[in-house]
Structure 1
Amino acid sequence: MSMNRLAESTSPYLQQHADNPVHWQLWDDEALELARQQDKPILLSIGYSACHWCHVMAHESFEDEETAALMNELFINIKVDREERPDLDKIYLSAHQLLTQRPGGWPLTVFLMPGDQVPFFAGTYFPRESRYGMPPFKDVLASIANAYREQRHDIEGQNRAFMEAMSSLNPQTPVTDTNLEAAPLESARQQLARSFDETHGGFGQAPKFPLPTSLQRILRHWAATRISGRDDPRALYVADYSLTRMALGGFNDQLDGGFYRYSVDDQWMIPHFEKMLYDNGPLLTLYTDLWQATGKALFQETAIKTADWVIREMQSPEGGYYSTLDADSEGEEGLFYLWSPEEVKGLLERDEYQHLAAYYGLDREANFEGRWHLHNFTSIAELNQRLDSSSDQAHGLLSSAREKLFKARGDRIRPGRDEKILTAWNALMIKGMARAGRVLNKPEYTASADRALGFIRSSLWHEGRLLATHKDGKSALPAYLDDYAFLIDALLELLQTRWNRSDLDFALELTEVLLTHFQDGECGGFYFTADDHEALIHRPKPLGDDAIPSGNGIAAHALNRLGHLLGEPRYLETAEGTLKAAWDHLSQVPHAHCALLEALEEQLHPPEIIIIRGSGADLEQWSVRAAQQLAPRRLALSIPTPETDLPTLLDKDHQGDITGAYICSGTTCEPTISDFEQFDQRLSESKCTPPTEQERAFTGSAGSFKRHRE
């Protein structure tokens, strides 16, 4: 079997294409020079290993000898894993938007000039034969090659205009007189409320993505209203109802835990079946927070199932978290997760089957290509009425039935797993595990986060800089803004779960690299790539959230917290400058910048910082109390008495062996509290306590809250 250059890569996605008849190249100097020497345009194909339509295009076109021969004759063909090279992905996704005036996706197919890699035509999936209103891929290839030969002058003129448009994507001028104020926070709440799906939860219509950053914004808004005495139960309802429907629907793996990529319908019933680490980390954080806000068992159970799935299926023996599970197995999308009623009947007792079939829709018509995907169709109360069972009986029968199906499913051929370890995505999961470990009292989750952090420090931190990816014992590629920002944020979360001085020192090292190599010192904010990164046609400064939160937003939020914690004006000034640089974007479309809004909120209302010093059971008691309430603006660190030589605020008014706490907001610190009852009373004054039973029963226009608590 002949192999192309992709066999040299450790990327599972690129390796999937190593035996294609296409003469695939890696994105490197060798390939770019080859395009210049042969004066051939570059066909750039960007995708990822769990992408269903990437597989479809590969089977239809890249494995086809005739199509491959045409590609090899007319183009220099370069394949890129978007997860390893998000810099290229961001640039050429933006190019697709500018060239086609519509959002892009994957597979992303872009044709570039050979001399400077400026794109002149872009698309996504192209079919082998004409369908979906799209021309055959071979016709596209011939047309592009002909245009390159016959219309070179026109293309070069288009490219000049294109580069001017690309340069305008970043804020261009220093912003010094902007007055940061709260209007975007309220505007975002209103925009998200307008797009809320009253019937099924979530935002907008199919395809529906979970948008955890948007839901986190709504939940933080609710928490802020409770603190201020202007409680907004509607905001809590939006978050509660959305996450209830996601948890109970086919969007969530009802047997094993873990969320899929997105729902193809409004009901959260049928997903695209790939599971991505970067979705599950923020969703773990969000379900943990919502359990703390409401006390609902469903949210606690969902967080636990998600975390357990990650540890069981996605954590490497060395500690790092793997990236994705494929949508396909045995060449079919979702096959691993689908059932037939006959198969399920053969595995369950009669009562188990009756309850499971009614609850998950096996007694209805097939919901996915002649098969059944488990999705909640009824409440426990309705199930009890229909089958004359009690709630305890129904829960028990459903639990035992799920266990049997889970065991049987384990004998099937599993979806492929992309086992590369990405620093940024690991940081998102470290944060989720740390939060869940602290709030749910699950030390095994904290231990999982520690193992992942240890892997990053041993394998992805080299000579004072982060690397972005690790696979097969090899770490590679200079890290991006998200790697640094997300990891600093995760370290702050982990420090709240258990104190470790070396983690604080590591966070400060990362912060200095961020300021030195990524900051735009003139206009504010952070570039996605470092100042010594490979030169590309554009240096993005991403401000808006996409599937993951904005690196600029997370950086500003983390810097603001570190600045207050350590009394470091540089950090505070940089966080403020980032918000000012993004102000036009925040003002115009605030709901698309929820990570930056989180930073804005704490810029306007500095975090409440609690430093607890003590030892043994007393320190544990005080720590548990500080983590008892949902308080998004709170940063609480519990530092054992023996720790010395701590920076500034962390060692303020230390009273030796006496357990005590001091609380600061902004530049104002309260007297040290050394009495636990007084400490408990002081924290109770925040009003950020779980709602009462009456408040939980709040009814929105979608119907009774109580029904969905079952």
Structure 2
Amino acid sequence: MHSAHHNRLAAETSPYLRQHAHNPVDWYPWCQEALDLARREDKPILLSIGYSACHWCHVMAHESFEDEDTAQVMNGLFVNIKVDREERPDLDKIYQLAHQIMARRGGGWPLTVFLNPHNHLPFFAGTYFPKTARYQLPGFVTVMQRVAAYYHERKDDLHKHHDYLANLLATAQAQDGGVPLDPAVLDQARHALLDAFDPVNGGFGGAPKFPQAANLGFLLRRAEADAPPDPDALAVVATSLAKMAEGGLFDQIGGGFCRYSVDAAWRIPHFEKMLYDNGALLGLYAATHRATGLPLFRDAAIATAEWAIREMRSPEGGFYAALDADSEGEEGRYYLWTPAQVRALLGPEEYAVVEPHFGLDQRPNFEGEAWHVQVALPLPQVAARLDIAVDEAERRLAAARIKLYAARETRVRPGLDDKLLTAWNGLMIAGLAQAGRLLERPDFIAAAEQAFACLRRACVDADGHLLATDKDGKSRLRAYLDDYAFLLAAGLELLQCRWQSADLAWLLALADRLLADFEDGDHGGFFFTARDHETLIHRPKSYADESMASGNGVAALALLRLGCLVGDMRYTTAAERTLVSAATALDQYPHSHGALLTALAEWFEPPECVILRGQPEALPLWAATARQADPRRWVFSIPNDIGDLPGDLAGRIAEAGEVAYVCTGTACLPPIRTLAELG
């Protein structure tokens, strides 16, 4: 780090940008000043996109951006712009797509893109470049010199390339379905996912392997919705989640999941922990415990929720974005052990369990002579080997975990990206609410409530627009589709845990804003950016799941459910138009659209929506009875003393005793007044 330097990034809120505030590079954030300067001086733009927990972003920063000689080349040839992809996912989506078109392969981070300063179209793109040539990659200085020369010497070729790229970007946008909605797509997707399933290690495909929570969530819904239940779909979900929870993707000592595994067996992860993965997986593990009854899934959900509450929560109740992959300049160092370190911390009986369970009696599994602990021998087998009861093995393991965690806390912790992102908080709120309800953990529900209230205070501007990020009490950037969609879904999960009319009113306002500012009125579906967003080279509208579930898929599902709850056809119609607009994509690549498939399944097979009215002390029993009868039911408990409800809810009249109003789509049963009828 060159502390003698001080560039414009020091004034930014993003922890990632501030990591580069003392580079010798003359960095700008994405701003009009930088764009005007590049156009005025006819200097191409070097756009570097990354995020704070990204290991290879750190490597490129240390090698090149902190190097005086490399920075001198950058400053001489380009206007340099640094972007946090978590604050500006709009820019990231656009230039990742451009990279994919130009390179004919997927991108990643760091993303390095060179732009024409006059129209901001890219003419060369890559990801990580080493300082000097290696890994079959050219050196970064060589790349920059060649790119700058091409820009200034080949203007005619540049214009032809830009016309070609602009046309491809325009045609890459999904516009309308072109095919009717067909429930057969759901079976096609199921078969495609079962074909891609790794029966040995769980998950889909080979290395690198990502959790793909949206696809697993779709399969879990199929498993629970089919009559009779689908054992093959449930086996894919259960096997995948079990292998992840027992492997190195999961932090066996402190809880929480890393972003992905570098191998096919979930052994060694990239060690960054992202809030969005953990929020999505938390709810999925809790729901899979409901479906299977297996303690492993309950324990993984509880450990993940407790990690988030303990390590990722702000004093105001919101959740921070990420933990870095690196500590003390090395990836994973914080999480690694040697057998000698572990033995020194534990009693002999505890170590006798931990050593075989975590594989410390096997060869090191990480660089050098280090172990990243994971389940090598299941606890029942460890107990049998030691001739002790499984309960005793569990007790020793729990005691050992407490000691190992306390010792690990004395190490230099990975860097914390302490900004609040609205969309990612939405995922964690939904996960906590779902896990709290299914696992009977009121502390999880309370944490979800506090985070929801935090966002409502911090991430709304004076005109009621949602904001995307908050850091140190400074909220900024108009929200994106994901912010609205994930927060809508979270609010609906939270309403199932406890009723707050004020929360419903806010959700309705958010849904109205989503329709007014993001919906594609011509073709259906939702753009990623609002109508009044900064004009960029492309306005993305994507349907496929990426590192998170598709915003269009989550929006469609949330609007279906909100429309069912209040009886407003504007919401259900917008959801249906989204599904129709995505029909071609679903037909061609069904297994890439788990979130939309879940919405499509609910559109074809709407679950029952149960509205309970009664005395507060009686409603929990009624809600439990309703859910036990059908786990797919949406159940909302509204105490009798709450009135002035919107839409169809106004007709769910309180009576002297308890009453249940049960509807499926637009068809409703007569009011139910006994628990026997409800079950």
Alpha-carbon contact 2:625-2:675 (below 8 Å) kept: no
- 1:221 is matched with 222
The one-letter amino acid paired with 1:128 is K
Task: Please report how far the alpha carbon of residue 400 of structure 1 lies from its aligned counterpart in structure 2 after TM superposition.
Answer: 1.2
Whether 1:535 aligns to 2:535 is yes
**Structure 1 gap ranges (5+):** 681-710
Alpha-carbon contact 1:212-1:286 (below 8 Å) kept: yes
The separation in 1 between residues aligned to 2:384 and 2:464, in whole angstroms, is: 63
> Structure 1 residues 163 and 310, CA, compared in 2 at 3 Å: closer, same or farther?
same
The separation in 1 between residues aligned to 2:106 and 2:629, in whole angstroms, is: 40
- 2:657 is matched with 658
The one-letter amino acid paired with 2:590 is P
- 2:202 is matched with 201
The separation in 2 between residues aligned to 1:627 and 1:328, in whole angstroms, is: 43
Task: Please report how far the alpha carbon of residue 385 of structure 1 lies from its aligned counterpart in structure 2 after TM superposition.
Answer: 3.0
The separation in 1 between residues aligned to 2:446 and 2:381, in whole angstroms, is: 40
Instruction: Summarize deviations over 1:92-149 as a string: whole Å, max 9, x none.
Output: 0000000000000000000000011100100000011211110111110111011111
The separation in 2 between residues aligned to 1:492 and 1:653, in whole angstroms, is: 18
The one-letter amino acid paired with 2:245 is A
The one-letter amino acid paired with 2:57 is C
- 2:292 is matched with 294
The separation in 1 between residues aligned to 2:652 and 2:576, in whole angstroms, is: 29
> Structure 1 residues 345 and 655, CA, compared in 2 at 3 Å: closer, same or farther?
closer
Task: Please report how far the alpha carbon of residue 362 of structure 1 lies from its aligned counterpart in structure 2 after TM superposition.
Answer: 0.7
> Structure 1 residues 629 and 427, CA, compared in 2 at 3 Å: closer, same or farther?
farther
Alpha-carbon contact 2:174-2:542 (below 8 Å) kept: no
Query: Which of the residues 248, 254, 257 maps onto 1:256?
Result: 254
Give percent identity, aligned residues only: 53
- 2:586 is matched with 586
Task: Please report how far the alpha carbon of residue 386 of structure 1 lies from its aligned counterpart in structure 2 after TM superposition.
Answer: 2.3
- 2:95 is matched with 92
Whether 1:11 aligns to 2:9 is no
Alpha-carbon contact 2:45-2:117 (below 8 Å) kept: yes
Query: Which of the residues 125, 140, 143 maps onto 1:140?
Result: 143
Q: Say which SS state the counterpart of residue 136 (structure 2) adopts.
A: coil
**Structure 1 segment 272-671 matched on structure 2, within 5 A:** 272-369=270-367, 370-462=369-461, 463-628=463-628, 631-632=631-632, 634-671=633-670
The one-letter amino acid paired with 2:403 is K
The one-letter amino acid paired with 2:234 is L
Moved more, 547-556 or 98-107: 547-556
The separation in 1 between residues aligned to 2:107 and 2:371, in whole angstroms, is: 31
> Structure 1 residues 619 and 608, CA, compared in 2 at 3 Å: closer, same or farther?
same
Alpha-carbon contact 2:611-2:652 (below 8 Å) kept: no
Alpha-carbon contact 1:288-1:440 (below 8 Å) kept: yes
Whether 1:69 aligns to 2:68 is no
The separation in 1 between residues aligned to 2:107 and 2:617, in whole angstroms, is: 54
Task: Please report how far the alpha carbon of residue 643 of structure 1 lies from its aligned counterpart in structure 2 after TM superposition.
Answer: 1.2
The separation in 1 between residues aligned to 2:40 and 2:103, in whole angstroms, is: 29
Task: Please report how far the alpha carbon of residue 178 of structure 1 lies from its aligned counterpart in structure 2 after TM superposition.
Answer: 4.5
> Structure 1 residues 119 and 671, CA, compared in 2 at 3 Å: closer, same or farther?
same
Task: Please report how far the alpha carbon of residue 519 of structure 1 lies from its aligned counterpart in structure 2 after TM superposition.
Answer: 0.6
Task: Please report how far the alpha carbon of residue 630 of structure 1 lies from its aligned counterpart in structure 2 after TM superposition.
Answer: 6.4
Q: Say which SS state the counterpart of residue 172 (structure 2) adopts.
A: coil
Task: Please report how far the alpha carbon of residue 387 of structure 1 lies from its aligned counterpart in structure 2 after TM superposition.
Answer: 2.2
The separation in 1 between residues aligned to 2:66 and 2:223, in whole angstroms, is: 52
Alpha-carbon contact 1:44-1:111 (below 8 Å) kept: yes
The separation in 1 between residues aligned to 2:630 and 2:107, in whole angstroms, is: 37
- 1:183 is matched with 184
Whether 1:116 aligns to 2:119 is yes
> Structure 1 residues 655 and 451, CA, compared in 2 at 3 Å: closer, same or farther?
closer
The separation in 1 between residues aligned to 2:288 and 2:60, in whole angstroms, is: 40
Alpha-carbon contact 1:292-1:630 (below 8 Å) kept: no
Alpha-carbon contact 2:179-2:584 (below 8 Å) kept: no
Alpha-carbon contact 1:293-1:630 (below 8 Å) kept: no
Alpha-carbon contact 1:653-1:672 (below 8 Å) kept: no
Q: Say which SS state the counterpart of residue 532 (structure 1) adopts.
A: coil
- 1:689 is matched with none
Task: Please report how far the alpha carbon of residue 626 of structure 1 lies from its aligned counterpart in structure 2 after TM superposition.
Answer: 2.7
> Structure 1 residues 25 and 648, CA, compared in 2 at 3 Å: closer, same or farther?
closer
TM-score where L is the length of structure 1: 0.94
Q: Say which SS state the counterpart of residue 534 (structure 1) adopts.
A: coil
Instruction: Summarize deviations over 1:499-541 as a string: whole Å, max 9, x none.
Output: 0001110010001111111011001110000000000000000
Instruction: Summarize deviations over 1:608-637 as a string: whole Å, max 9, x none.
Output: 1100000132112112223446623x2211
Task: Please report how far the alpha carbon of residue 678 of structure 1 lies from its aligned counterpart in structure 2 after TM superposition.
Answer: 1.9
Q: Say which SS state the counterpart of residue 466 (structure 2) adopts.
A: strand
Alpha-carbon contact 1:97-1:104 (below 8 Å) kept: yes
Q: Say which SS state the counterpart of residue 320 (structure 2) adopts.
A: coil
Task: Please report how far the alpha carbon of residue 561 of structure 1 lies from its aligned counterpart in structure 2 after TM superposition.
Answer: 1.3
Instruction: Summarize deviations over 1:549-603 as a string: whole Å, max 9, x none.
Output: 1111111111111222222121121111111111110000011011111111111
Alpha-carbon contact 2:202-2:241 (below 8 Å) kept: yes
CA RMSD of superposed structures (Å): 1.2
Whether 1:130 aligns to 2:133 is yes
The separation in 1 between residues aligned to 2:598 and 2:338, in whole angstroms, is: 45
Task: Please report how far the alpha carbon of residue 489 of structure 1 lies from its aligned counterpart in structure 2 after TM superposition.
Answer: 0.9
Instruction: Summarize deviations over 1:422-443 as a string: whole Å, max 9, x none.
Output: 0000000010011111111111
The separation in 2 between residues aligned to 1:592 and 1:620, in whole angstroms, is: 38
- 1:690 is matched with none
The one-letter amino acid paired with 2:458 is S
Instruction: Summarize deviations over 1:313-355 as a string: whole Å, max 9, x none.
Output: 0010011100000011111111111001111111111121121
Alpha-carbon contact 2:626-2:678 (below 8 Å) kept: no
Q: Say which SS state the counterpart of residue 475 (structure 2) adopts.
A: strand
**Structure 2 gap ranges (5+):** none
The separation in 2 between residues aligned to 1:657 and 1:418, in whole angstroms, is: 52
The one-letter amino acid paired with 2:66 is E
Alpha-carbon contact 1:26-1:80 (below 8 Å) kept: yes
The separation in 1 between residues aligned to 2:534 and 2:616, in whole angstroms, is: 50
The separation in 2 between residues aligned to 1:12 and 1:655, in whole angstroms, is: 50
The separation in 2 between residues aligned to 1:542 and 1:426, in whole angstroms, is: 21
Alpha-carbon contact 1:430-1:449 (below 8 Å) kept: yes
Alpha-carbon contact 1:439-1:628 (below 8 Å) kept: no
Q: Say which SS state the counterpart of residue 552 (structure 1) adopts.
A: helix
Q: Say which SS state the counterpart of residue 644 (structure 1) adopts.
A: coil
The separation in 1 between residues aligned to 2:654 and 2:454, in whole angstroms, is: 36
- 1:706 is matched with none
Instruction: Summarize deviations over 1:622-659 as a string: whole Å, max 9, x none.
Output: 12223446623x22110000111212432335242210
The one-letter amino acid paired with 1:583 is A
- Count residues in correspondence: 674
Instruction: Summarize deviations over 1:41-62 as a string: whole Å, max 9, x none.
Output: 0000000000000000000000
Task: Please report how far the alpha carbon of residue 89 of structure 1 lies from its aligned counterpart in structure 2 after TM superposition.
Answer: 0.3
Alpha-carbon contact 1:561-1:607 (below 8 Å) kept: no
- 1:703 is matched with none
The one-letter amino acid paired with 2:212 is L
